[in-house]
Amino acid sequence: MTKILPQIFLVALSFCATAQSGGHEHLGPAPLEADDSLFPTVGPILVSVSMLATIKSDGRVSHTKVLDTIRGTNDFYQGTLIGYLDDAVAAATRWRFDPAIDSDLRPIESLASITFLYDRVWGRGTALPTFTTVPSKTGDYVPPIPTKLSRAEYPVNSIGIGTVVLNLHVEANGSVSDARIIKSVPSLDEPSIIAAKKWRFQPAQYKGTSIPSTATAAFVYLPFMR
């Protein structure tokens, strides 16, 4: 299948958590560098891919595991989504992270939950169904998993193209309370923040207790597909 650079709105979401371990704070990985994903030239208006990624102590992704893939409602495209899976995994493995640290402030290997939302921008009546992923227990810490995503509204008077990267604070109830710009496209920053604050998650868990976490969202826009 032919691949081209994004003519859609891609959201890549990477989550990490802050947990308490033996009275010490454990900080999860946070993305430092992220680039655009390729995508199939033909496909649904909306597709989301949720995965877990293992982040090594040097900040590189060692491997990924896809948790769930969903497509938008009211979409007549019934073809395969394998191209989206391949492109999401390829993009995630190129990313670089600030690794998790232990109680002695040493970098350690940890899990991040990454979600890609592919949006062809047009078809505003299309929405995503709720994720139903139930993550398996991976140790004392289980990363936060998305349950509900919202699309950003591309401004009518904008000609902005590119990627807005946000670092999000996810509360223990799964809501997003704050968003900080990591990479800016000036006319698109605010719509990205508004959309990201509507997202909901299964919160991160540490030893069965819900805990606050951080999340990174990357919104990639190419408005000529509107």
Q: Where are the domains of the chain?
A: 3-225
Beta bridge partners of 70: 48
Cα(198)–Cα(192) distance, integer angstroms: 10
Residues in Cβ contact with 72 at an 8 Å cutoff, skipping those fewer than 6 apart:
44, 45, 46, 47, 123, 126, 127, 128
Beta bridge partners of 211: 204
Reported pTM: 0.81
For residue 12, which of 220, 218, 169 has the smallest C-alpha distance? 218
Residue owning tokens 């650079």:
5
- One-letter amino acid at 201 equals F
Q: What is the 3-state secondary structure (H, E, C) of 56-71?
A: CCCCEEEEEEEEEEEE
Measure the N-to-C terminal CA separation of the chain; round to a whole number of Å. 23
Task: List per-residue pLDDT tens for the chain, 226 residues long.
Answer: 444 444 444 445 544 444 444 433 445 678 888 888 777 777 777 788 888 889 899 999 999 999 888 888 877 787 888 988 888 888 888 988 888 887 788 998 988 888 887 777 776 666 778 887 776 666 777 888 888 988 888 788 878 777 777 888 889 999 999 988 888 889 888 988 998 899 998 888 888 899 888 777 877 776 654 4
Q: Which two tokens stand for residue 168?
A: 């999000």
92's enclosing H/E stretch is: helix 82-94
According to CATH, the topology of domain 3-225 is TolA/TonB C-terminal domain (3.30.2420)
Q: What was the pLDDT predicted at 28?
A: 66
Cα(217)–Cα(31) distance, integer angstroms: 9
> What is the distance, to the nearest Å, from the Cα of residue 171 to the centroid of all Cα atoms in its chain?
16
Query: Are residues 164 and 183 in contact, defined by beta-carbon separation less than 8 angstroms?
Result: yes
